[in-house]
C-alpha cells in the first residue's frame, strides 16, 4: 500500500488524520486538511495510477472548490466544453436544444475523463503534499480515521459492524470512451455532427432506456453511456467487458443515429448499477472513524453528483476539524454527519427521479413541455459552498450535539431505508470503536 505524508509543520495541537483511499473523496479531504493545517496520512491500495473510467461530471458545487484550490487552469484544457444539449425521443424527434452554461452560480462545471482528472490530483499530491512511503503491516494511529475507500468499502463494515448488502437496481450502463479519428464517426453523416464543430452533446430517451453521447477536446474524443434494464443479480457495482451486439439490440427500433454512434466504439464496458440504502450512520460508535464519498453514500450516475458530494464531504471534515481542534475531533465528525446527511440523501434521490422522468416520459407531454425533461441545475445543489457552509454552521451544530446529545441520523421519513436500518441499530449501539 502506498502512503503520502501530508504533514504541514509541527504545531502541537494539529489534528492527525489517516485517510484510507485516494479517490476524489480521499484527495479532497487530504488537500483541504493540509490547507487547514492538519497532519495527514493518505493511504491508497494501488501503488501506481492507471487511467481508469470514462466521463465524470463535477457540478459547480465541486467546481468552486477546485477554483479555490487554483486548479482551473489545469482542469479546463482537458475538460469537455458543451454548448447545447440536444434531447430527442427514441424515434428521433427533437424535444429540446437546451443551452448549457459553463459557469453556474458563480463557479465552473467540469466534465471530463475521470482518469485524466484524477491524474492531476495524484500529481498534485506527489509534488505538493509530500513524499510517498510504503506501509506494509505497520500500525498507524491518528486522532481520526477517514474511510474514503469507495463503493466496495472495507471501512464501512468496520464502522457498522455488519456487511451492508447492496440490492440490484434493475439497471446497468454500457459505457465507452474512444478517439474519434479512425473510428468512422467523422465519415458517417449519421454521426459526424458530434465531432465536426467542437464538443457536442446529444441524448435520446425511451421506455426504461436513455442514451447520452458527447465529444470532448474539440471533437477529438467521443464518449457515450446507455442506461438500460438489467436483471443480473450481482453482489456489487462492477464493470465487465460489454458485447456490442447486446448494446445495439437495445436501440434496434430507435432513431438510426443511435446505432450509428454506438457502433463506432471499438469496445465498451457493461457497468452494473446496484442500490444501497442510506446507512444507519457514517460514523463509528465512538466517532473516531468517518466514512465519506462512495463508501458512505454511492450515487446513481443520473444524479451526476457522486464525485461532487464526495468532495464536499472531504472539505467539510477538514473545516470541522479545524474549528473543533484535536480535543474535540469526535465532535467535529459528529457535526460533519449532522451537517451532511440530509443534503447528501436529498441529492442521492435525484439520481432516481432524473432517471424515472426520462424512462417514463410521455412523448406527447414532453413535446409540449420540454422543461420537464431538461437537465437539472438546481441552486440548492450547484450553488452550495461546502467550505463556507461548514465555517458558518459548525458552532451551532456542535452546540446542539453537546447540549442535546448525539443522535443517529433521522430516517423516520425515509420508508425505503427505515426497516433495514432499524434492524441494524442495536448491534451498532453495542459496538466499542
Q: Which of 45, 327, 365, 407 binds ligand FAD (CB under 6 A)?
A: 45
Q: Are 295 and 21 in contact (CB under 8 A)?
A: yes
For this structure, is 431 an active site residue? Answer: no
Smallest separation (angstroms) from ligand FAD to the CB of 13: 28
Q: Which of 16, 108, 114, 322 binds ligand FAD (CB under 6 A)?
A: 114
**53 contacts ligand FAD (rule: CB under 6 A):** yes
Q: Are 397 and 339 in contact (CB under 8 A)?
A: yes
- Cα–Cα distances in angstroms (integers) from residue 43 to residues 145, 236, 323, 420, in the given order: 11, 23, 24, 31
Q: How many residues bind ligand FAD (CB under 6 A)?
A: 30
* 301 closest CA partner among 206, 381, 210: 210
> Please, is 248 exposed, middle or buried when counting C-beta atoms within 10 Å of its C-beta (0-12, 13-18, 19+)?
middle
Q: In the window 305-364, what residues touch ligand FAD (CB under 6 A)? A: 306-307, 310
Nearer to ligand FAD, 24 or 75 (CB): 24
Q: Are 19 and 290 in contact (CB under 8 A)?
A: no
Q: Which of 32, 39, 44, 270 binds ligand FAD (CB under 6 A)?
A: 44
Contact range with ligand FAD by CB under 6 A, out of 10-18, 40-48, 326-334, 354-362:
40-48
Grid look-up 420537464 returns 372
Q: In the window 140-179, what residues touch ligand FAD (CB under 6 A)? A: 148-151, 154
> Please, is 142 exposed, middle or buried when counting C-beta atoms within 10 Å of its C-beta (0-12, 13-18, 19+)?
middle
Q: In the window 255-294, what residues touch ligand FAD (CB under 6 A)? A: 293-294
Distance CA 361, CA 403 (A): 49
Smallest separation (angstroms) from ligand FAD to the CB of 220: 18
* 84 closest CA partner among 101, 100, 96, 95: 100
**52 contacts ligand FAD (rule: CB under 6 A):** yes
Smallest separation (angstroms) from ligand FAD to the CB of 239: 8
* 307 closest CA partner among 56, 19, 33: 56
Nearer to ligand FAD, 53 or 370 (CB): 53
Contact range with ligand FAD by CB under 6 A, out of 41-49, 200-208, 329-337, 382-390:
41-49
Q: Are 351 and 300 in contact (CB under 8 A)?
A: yes
Smallest separation (angstroms) from ligand FAD to the CB of 24: 4
Nearer to ligand FAD, 21 or 278 (CB): 21
Q: Which of 3, 20, 194, 291 binds ligand FAD (CB under 6 A)?
A: 20
**3 state DSSP class of 241:** strand
- Which DSSP symbol is given to 154? S
Please pick, among 114, 156, 175, 340, the residue that the annotation labels catalytic. 175
Q: Residue 192: which residues within 8 A CB-CB, separation 6 or more?
A: 185, 186
**132 contacts ligand FAD (rule: CB under 6 A):** no
**3 contacts ligand FAD (rule: CB under 6 A):** no
What φ, ψ does residue 31 adopt, rounded to 5°?
Answer: -65, -45
Q: Which of 29, 31, 56, 145 binds ligand FAD (CB under 6 A)?
A: 56
Nearer to ligand FAD, 21 or 255 (CB): 21
Active site residues: 175
Q: Return residues touching ligand FAD (CB under 6 A).
A: 1, 20-26, 43-46, 52-56, 114, 148-151, 154, 293-295, 301, 306-307, 310
Amino acid at each position: 500500500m502506498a502512503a503520502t505524508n501530508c504533514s504541514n509543520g509541527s504545531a502541537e495541537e494539529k489534528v492527525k488524520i489517516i485517510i484510507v483511499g485516494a479517490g476524489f473523496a480521499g484527495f479532497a479531504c487530504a488537500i483541504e486538511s493540509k490547507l487547514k493545517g492538519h497532519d495527514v496520512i493518505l493511504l491508497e491500495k494501488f501503488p501506481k495510477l492507471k487511467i481508469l473510467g470514462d466521463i465524470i461530471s463535477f457540478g459547480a458545487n465541486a467546481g468552486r472548490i477546485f477554483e479555490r484550490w487554483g486548479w482551473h487552469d489545469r482542469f479546463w484544457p482537458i475538460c469537455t466544453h458543451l454548448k447545447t444539449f440536444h434531447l430527442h425521443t427514441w424515434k428521433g424527434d427533437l424535444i429540446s436544444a437546451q443551452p448549457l452554461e459553463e459557469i453556474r452560480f458563480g463557479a465552473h462545471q467540469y466534465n471530463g475523463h475521470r482518469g485524466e482528472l484524477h491524474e492531476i490530483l495524484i500529481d498534485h499530491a506527489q509534488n505538493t503534499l509530500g513524499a510517498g512511503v510504503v506501509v506494509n503491516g505497520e500500525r498507524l494511529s491518528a486522532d481520526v480515521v477517514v474511510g474514503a475507500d469507495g463503493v466496495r468499502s472495507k471501512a464501512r463494515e468496520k464502522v457498522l459492524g455488519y456487511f451492508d448488502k447492496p440490492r440490484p437496481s434493475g439497471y446497468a450502463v454500457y459505457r465507452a470512451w474512444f478517439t474519434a479519428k479512425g473510428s468512422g464517426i467523422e465519415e458517417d453523416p449519421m454521426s459526424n455532427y458530434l465531432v465536426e464543430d467542437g464538443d457536442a452533446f446529444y441524448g435520446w430517451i425511451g421506455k426504461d432506456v436513455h442514451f447520452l453521447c458527447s465529444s470532448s477536446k474539440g471533437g477529438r474524443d467521443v464518449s457515450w453511456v446507455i442506461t438500460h434494464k438489467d436483471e443480473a443479480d450481482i453482489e456489487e457495482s462492477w464493470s465487465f467487458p460489454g458485447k456490442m451486439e447486446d448494446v445495439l439490440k437495445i436501440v434496434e427500433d430507435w432513431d438510426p443515429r443511435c446505432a450509428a454512434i454506438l457502433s463506432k466504439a471499438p469496445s465498451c464496458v457493461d457497468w452494473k448499477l446496484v442500490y444501497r440504502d442510506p446507512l444507519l450512520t457514517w460514523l463509528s460508535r465512538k466517532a473516531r472513524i468517518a466514512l465519506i464519498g462512495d463508501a458512505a453514500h454511492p450515487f446513481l450516475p443520473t444524479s451526476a453528483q457522486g464525485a461532487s458530494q464526495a468532495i464536499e464531504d472531504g472539505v467539510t471534515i477538514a473545516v470541522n476539524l479545524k474549528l473543533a481542534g484535536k480535543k474535540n475531533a469526535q465532535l467535529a465528525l459528529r457535526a460533519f454527519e449532522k451537517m451532511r446527511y440530509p443534503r447528501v440523501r436529498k441529492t442521492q434521490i435525484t439520481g432516481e427521479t432524473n432517471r424515472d422522468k426520462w424512462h417514463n416520459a410521455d412523448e406527447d407531454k414532453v413535446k409540449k413541455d420540454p422543461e420537464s425533461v431538461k437537465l437539472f441545475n438546481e441552486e440548492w445543489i450547484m450553488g452550495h459552498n461546502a467550505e463556507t457552509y461548514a465555517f458558518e454552521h459548525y458552532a451551532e451544530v456542535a452546540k446542539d450535539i453537546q447540549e442535546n446529545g448525539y443522535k443517529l441520523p433521522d430516517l423516520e421519513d425515509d420508508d425505503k431505508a427505515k426497516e433495514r436500518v432499524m434492524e441494524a441499530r442495536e448491534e451498532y449501539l453495542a459496538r466499542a470503536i
